[in-house]
Amino acid sequence: MAKNGAVKTLLGLLLVIALLVGGAYALLYGVTHPPREKTQLDPADLLLRAEDVTFHAADGVLLSGWLVKGTPRAPVIVLCHDLGGSRSALLNSAVSLNRAGYALLVFDFRGHGLSMGSGGYLGVDEKSDILGAIAFLKSRSDVDGSRVGLWGIGMGAYAGTLAAIDSPEIVALALDSLYPDVTSQLERLVRARIPPPLSFVMPVLHQIYRPYLALRPPGNTSLSTSLGALSGRNVLLIVAIDSPERYNEEKALYAALPEGPQGGKSLLELKASVVTGLYAEDKKTYDQAIVRFFTTNLPKNGGAKPPAKKGLQVLER
């Protein structure tokens, strides 16, 4: 009898552990695989001349997007949405860049919008999507695929940074709400789903992050030690001050960005970002800063850029 009781207790304990681990992985999967955004705008409604395009990511996933026409043979700016978003979310902001003469590639990451594949690894897998976009642009005769700009938000900023490290064609990057690594972002997203009374489970989830990330090589890619590879590029880092935690992370990333005679870095501090919410005049200031950055650092005529200067901090509190 005592032996049977011990067996039942052990089985019960194993069942509880299995339920906890299963629930934790279900939570992690749900965070990294949000529902697809089904809203689809028509670029023509915003007076944008766009072509529906498909192309393959570097690892073969079929992706869907719009190629918005700009000045013939102009450089292209690739717009990269955040986790859970879609190309439609960026279309309104795309108007200002297109009016400045740039061609634009606005596409859905894998597992988002109309693209194939399964949801995100918070930017690591999505790096292949951007590398595929660069290869697609280089195959086009109507744009300059050798000089590409990139504007990324959240996951799009992280994936864009990883892609730029491998792709010298990306010469100018505007990065909004960049995070330093997958673990810190995953913890932030999970914490937002956990009610305060259940915050005691976070240490348990920390232990589950490691095997979860290990299942998806190359694991936890940290930017802090790899940003030096962006030497010679121009980077605008957009930081919101409404979240002290994110603000400190992004200021540390800004400090780690290289600066030299062929490239530079700039910092735009705003009360909020696209991730945390922009409205009215803040949105106008944001869009103007994006356009000013690219017109300065990605000239449409391919001519010489102005001499690089020390990064200028623009503060809008």
d(CA 267, CA 234): 11
Per-residue pLDDT band at 2 (split at 50, 70, 90):
low
Q: How far is CA 286 from the centre of its chain?
A: 17
Question: Over pLDDT 70: what percentage of the chain?
Answer: 83
Is the predicted pLDDT of residue 306 greater than 60, yes or no? no
> Chain-wide mean pLDDT for the chain?
85
**Which tens digits make up the pLDDT trace of 14-42?**
776 677 667 777 777 888 889 998 778 88
Question: Of 220, 244, 269, which residue constitutes the final position of a domain?
Answer: 220
In the prediction, which pLDDT does 6 show?
A: 73
How many domains, the chain? 2
- Please check whether residues 111 and 254 belong to one and the same domain: yes
Taking only the tens place, the pLDDT of each residue in 147-206 is 999 999 999 999 999 999 999 999 999 999 999 998 889 888 888 888 777 777 777 777
Strands 50-56 and 62-68: antiparallel
Final residue in a domain of this structure, among 220, 249, 277: 220
- With 60 as the cut, is the pLDDT of residue 218 above it? no
> Based on the domain organization, do 307 and 259 belong to the same domain?
yes
**Shared-domain flag, residues 71 and 97:** yes
> pLDDT above 90 covers what percent of the chain?
50
| Helix spans in the chain (H) | 2-32, 91-99, 126-138, 155-166, 182-193, 202-214, 244-256, 280-297
Q: What does the alpha-carbon distance between residue 257 and residue 265 come to, in Å, rounded to a whole number? A: 7
Q: Does residue 197 sit in the same domain as residue 236?
A: no
Q: How confident is the model at residue 315 (pLDDT cuts 50, 70, 90)?
A: very low
What is the pLDDT averaged over residues 64-70?
A: 96
205 and 276 in a single domain? The answer is no
Same structural domain, 151 and 4 = no
Of 193, 220, 247, the last residue of a domain is 220
Which pLDDT band holds residue 308 (cuts at 50, 70, 90)? very low
Digit-coded pLDDT (tens) for 246-301: 999 999 999 999 987 777 999 998 886 665 555 556 778 888 899 999 999 999 87
Question: Which tens digits make up the pLDDT trace of 188-199?
Answer: 888 888 877 777
Whether residue 72 has a cis bond before it, omega within 30° of 0: no
Question: Are 227 and 213 found together in one domain?
Answer: no
pLDDT tens sequence across 72-95: 888 999 999 999 999 998 888 899
Mean pLDDT of the 43-47 span:
91
pTM above 0.85, yes or no: yes
**One domain, residues 286 and 228:** yes
Q: What pLDDT does residue 302 have?
A: 62
Both 147 and 248 in a single domain?
yes
Q: How confident is the model at residue 317 (pLDDT cuts 50, 70, 90)?
A: very low
pLDDT tens digits, 125-152: 999 999 999 999 999 999 999 999 999 9
- Residues 196, 249 within the same domain: no
Same domain for 86 and 20: no
Residues 145 and 235 reside in one and the same domain: yes
Exposed/middle/buried for residue 196 (C-beta within 10 Å: 0-12, 13-18, 19+): exposed
- The residue segments making up the domain with residue 10 are 1-32+182-220
